[in-house]
Amino acid sequence: MGDKTQLLALLLAARHRAPRAIILGILVATLLNHALAAALGSWLTQWLDPQWLRWGLGASFIAVAAWMLVPDKAGDAGTDAGGSRLGVFGLTVLAFFLAEMGDKTQIATVMLAARYQSILIVTMGTTLGMMIANVPAVLLGDKVVKLVPIAWVHRVAAAVFAGLGVLMLAGVGA
């Protein structure tokens, strides 16, 4: 969604020119990270009263919507790919796993798993979303940014999260 993981994908693709290794690394890192996040979200449902959980999730969705409007910077990706002994695949797995820690998509994965209580389905869905967002960044690089301005991607994503938050607070689907 135009965040640091897409910037990281662009940086790795530009620097290493190994799209298969980068895409596979993104997939592995995202599956691991989002499975852990979904497990946390599912665990939260066992400990929180459903009413508190609904209010917490609704407020969290609205907070993520606001967060979407603050774009990440390339420097936040947190990696220098030069001279790594891990190889492109290993570097990508490590960099993406760490970049996702506390990121918008990881927080959304926790919230979705808490809401839908399905670790497998939520992990599959959020991982698919990450792949849809990042594979074009790897394959097309800066051409993607020229087609759809990142600011609009952030705005649409923010509107979706805000809408979900309002619906959750209103008790729709509860």
Of 58 and 122, more confident? 122
Q: Which residue has the higher pLDDT, 30 or 17?
A: 30
- Exposed (0-12), middle (13-18) or buried (19+): which is 1, by Cβ within 10 Å? buried
Q: Lowest-confidence range among 71-80, 116-125, 156-165?
A: 71-80
pLDDT at position 145: 54
* Extents of the domains making up the chain: 4-169
C-alpha 16/C-alpha 148 separation (Å) is 25
Q: Identify whether the C-beta of residue 89 lies closer than 8 Å to the C-beta of residue 24.
A: yes
Strand, helix or coil for residue 142: helix
CA distance 120 to 124: 6
Average confidence (pLDDT) over 144-173: 74
pLDDT digits (tens, 9 = 90+) for 28-81: 999 999 999 999 888 887 877 777 767 876 787 687 677 667 765 544 444 444
User: Alpha carbon of 126 to those of 12, 37, 56, 97, 116: distances in Å?
Assistant: 21, 10, 20, 14, 13
pLDDT in the model for residue 55: 82
Q: What's the angle, vertex CA 113, arms to CA 112 and CA 115, rounded to 5?
A: 65
- Three-class secondary structure of residue 17 per DSSP: coil
SS3 141: coil
Burial annotation 65-101 (CB, 10 A radius, 16+ → b, else e):
bebbeeebeeeebebebeeeeeebbebbbebbbbbbe
- 73/8 Cα distance (integer angstroms): 10
Is the pTM higher than 0.85? The answer reads: no
Query: What percent of the chain has a predicted confidence (pLDDT) above 70?
Result: 77
Q: Is the pLDDT of residue 144 over 60?
A: no
State yes or no: pLDDT of 21 exceeds 90: yes
What percentage of the chain exceeds 90 in pLDDT? 23
**How confident is the model at residue 174, as a pLDDT?**
52
